Chains A and B, each alone.
Chain A
Amino acid sequence: DAGVIQSPRHEVTEMGQEVTLRCKPISGHNSLFWYRQTMMRGLELLIYFNNNVPIDDSGMPEDRFSAKMPNASFSTLKIQPSEPRDSAVYFCASSPVRSGTDTQYFGPGTRLTVL
């Protein structure tokens, strides 16, 4: 079975440019999470969706960040305009959420570098 798929795996862009990260969750999972990982701050939850609806976006750092989940098999995280401090590894994870303690399955991540 395919796991969580993220694209691109690496992205290098210049400050001010728009960046779009993509995620395909595991089929049948109804929760999707976007995380950011840096050395300084560790793994931070940015936003999560349940049944395609954003439930909690309190971790989204600024209005420059936005996330969408138009259907059960696709989500995007957009940064516009990007800044050097946005450089990090961005992970998408999905979960079946049957009991509230279910496994989150993480994708391989997108390493973003903003110059």
Chain B
Amino acid sequence: TQLLEQSPQFLSIQEGENLTVYCNSSSVFSSLQWYRQEPGEGPVLLVTVVTGGEVKKLKRLTFQFGDARKDSSLHITAAQPGDTGLYLCAGGVNNFNKFYFGSGTKLNVKP
């Protein structure tokens, strides 16, 4: 059983479209991170959010932490082929950087 559920599991869209990926849990987290992983490589951190309701923007990517710190969303505007990859959310539970990873959303952006 995954502590964090991500949806959708797979997403295939055309370049220029917008999309939103969701990360949900029944547990409260002290922080929430989003990673992107490309084939044959390890995950790379995109953002960390720590306050309920917090919104962070990274160019065309917008991240939001739910008010109750149980869920998060990642919105990509005008997706590009370079955005293709596996997107993972990770919930932090203590000060030693212990994170539980979500099941992942595999995004494919077609040119």
Chain A residues packing against B (C-beta within 8 Å): 4, 31, 33, 35, 42-45, 48, 50, 55-56, 91, 93, 95, 97, 99-109
Contact = CB atoms under 8 A, between A and B. Distances in A.
A23 B79 CA distance: 35
A17 B46 CA distance: 38
A99 B98 CA distance: 12
B2 to A, nearest CB: 7
B42 A93 contact: yes
Given A100-B30, A100-B92, A101-B31, A45 B44 contact: no
A93 B30 CA distance: 20
Of B2, B31, B42, B92, chain A has the most CB atoms within 10 Å of the CB of: B42
Interface residues of B, number: 25
B97 A31 contact: yes
Contact of A48 (B31, B41, B96): B96
Contacts, number: 68
B69 to A, nearest CB: 13
Helix, strand, loop or mixed for chain A's interface? strand
Nearest to A39: B104
Given A100-B30, A101-B31, A106 B98 contact: no
